[in-house]
Amino acid sequence: MATFELKNVSKIYDGKVTAVQNINLAADDGELVVLVGPSGCGKTTVLRMIAGLEEITEGELIIDGKIMNDVPPKDRDIAMVFQNYALYPHMTVYENMSFGLRLRKVSKNEIDKRVMNAAGILGLENLLNRKPAALSGGQRQRVALGRAIVRNPKIFLFDEPLSNLDAKLRTQMRAEILKLHRELQATMVYVTHDQIEAMTLGDKIVVLNEGKVQQIGKPLELFDKPVNKFVAAFIGTPSMNFIEGKIERNGDYVFVGETGSFRLKFNIHNYDKLKTYVNQSVVLGFRPEDIKLSENETEIKAVIEFMETLGSEIILYLKIDDVSVTGKINMVTDLKPGGKISIEINENKLHFFDSTTKQRIN
Ligand code: ATP
């Protein structure tokens, strides 16, 4: 069990490539922290610095109140689970799980106790004598988890551990990792590029981009109040709609899209900070979920370009004059491509961003 903190941490490879820039983040004892961001944003580098596999160029790593920058990996009491399991093919499941403990000269009895306990947690009891080649992908990943559990480490690090599995198995293993976290009450850091995985796993999600922390928050905070346009676009599927335009005031407050064709009246009382942006450029954002079909004629008329039916929901790709917009609505049967519809956009769920800084305004 442990707490950890990264304080003003940067990583510069070979004095040239800044992979991570001035990161601050902390985990409480027993917390599951998810690092999420696009490829190359520095997730793996952060994990490797915590594990001690990569030197920290600037800043401090603190575990349980102690600065750990110069402590060798083997003395950090951290276990890492990788994407490619890295199991030894010639060893059985039992041997794979016990290998690290044998190296550390842990007694046979203790090894047996720990392996059997981990096998019980992971449902591997009947597979202990099999070799990795005779296991499914999910079972192999469980063995890799087992190998980490038997070490009883202070901190677990997961580097995209599920990305080699198919979608169904991934969902199942995600649930198992959550269960594991509950049972072990261990401090865990989980890296993924998949925002859905992040949203379903995290107590605390850290969104990274270009080596910098963009936002740290609970899943709903990131969804409802993204601090900038990057987080707004990254979290949620389909992605948020963005339209560049201007706030005009003509009695009412109106957002007018750049090309003049998209207009949306809104109540300024919900967006006090926008008052200083009148006649200035802003970016309007709204989620596909916040569009709905209107039975009455509304001011916003759209043409359905194409649509994806997902069973209980439909994704609509719409054109409002020259502006493309995505909507996600509950299933209705009478829509077809080329059809004209009237829509409403939930005026309490608008997001506004500064067009220069891309930071949230409201
Ligand atoms: P992915 O999701 O693709 O694994 P990531 O978010 O984990 O990406 P990192 O692997 O941490 O990203 O890489 C961050 C940046 O640092 C990238 O620009 C990468 O090219 C660079 N980088 C990583 N390792 C090294 C290295 N050993 N030497 C130089 N640059 C590196």
Query: pLDDT digits over 301-321, tens only?
Result: 999 999 999 889 999 999 998
- 226 pLDDT band, cuts 50/70/90, is very high
Mutate to test the pocket of ligand 1, among 6, 9, 16, 17 (most ligand atoms within 8 A of CB): 17
Summarize the confidence of residues 30-52 as an average pLDDT: 95
Q: What is the pLDDT of residue 54?
A: 94
The share of the chain scoring above pLDDT 90, in percent, equals: 69
Angstrom distance (rounded) from CA 293 to CA 329 = 8
* Token pair for 130: 């099999």
Query: pLDDT digits over 200-222, tens only?
Result: 998 899 999 999 999 999 999 99
| pLDDT above 70 for 1 | no
Summarize the confidence of residues 164-168 as an average pLDDT: 78
Query: pLDDT digits over 262-293, tens only?
Result: 999 888 888 888 888 999 999 999 999 999 99
Distance 282 CA to ligand 1 centre (A): 33
| pLDDT above 90 for 166 | no
CB burial readout 101-122, b (16+ within 10 A) else e: beeeebeeeebeebbbebbebb
pTM check: above 0.85: yes
| pLDDT above 70 for 358 | yes
Please report the atom of ligand 1 found closest to the CA of residue 11: 16
Within 6 A (CB) of ligand 1 lie: 13-14, 17, 19, 37, 39-45, 193
Q: Which of 175, 121, 128, 118 is nearest to 149 (CA)?
A: 118
If you ran DSSP here, which 8-state letter would residue 278 be given?
B
* Token pair for 203: 């107590």
32: left (phi over 0), alpha (psi -120 to 50) or beta: beta
Q: What is the pLDDT of residue 310?
A: 87
Query: pLDDT digits over 7-24, tens only?
Result: 999 999 998 999 999 999
Distance 62 CA to ligand 1 centre (A): 23
Question: CB–CB of 81/161 below 8 Å?
Answer: yes
Q: What is the pLDDT of residue 28?
A: 94
Residue whose Cα lies nearest atom 3 of ligand 1: it is: 39
| pLDDT above 90 for 109 | yes
Residue whose Cα lies nearest atom 16 of ligand 1: it is: 19
Query: pLDDT digits over 110-138, tens only?
Result: 999 999 998 988 889 999 999 999 998 88
Angstrom distance (rounded) from CA 124 to CA 350 = 49
Q: What is the pLDDT of residue 111?
A: 95
Angstrom distance (rounded) from CA 22 to CA 190 = 20
| pLDDT above 90 for 333 | no
- Selected residue with higher pLDDT from 83 and 91: 91
Distance 46 CA to ligand 1 centre (A): 10
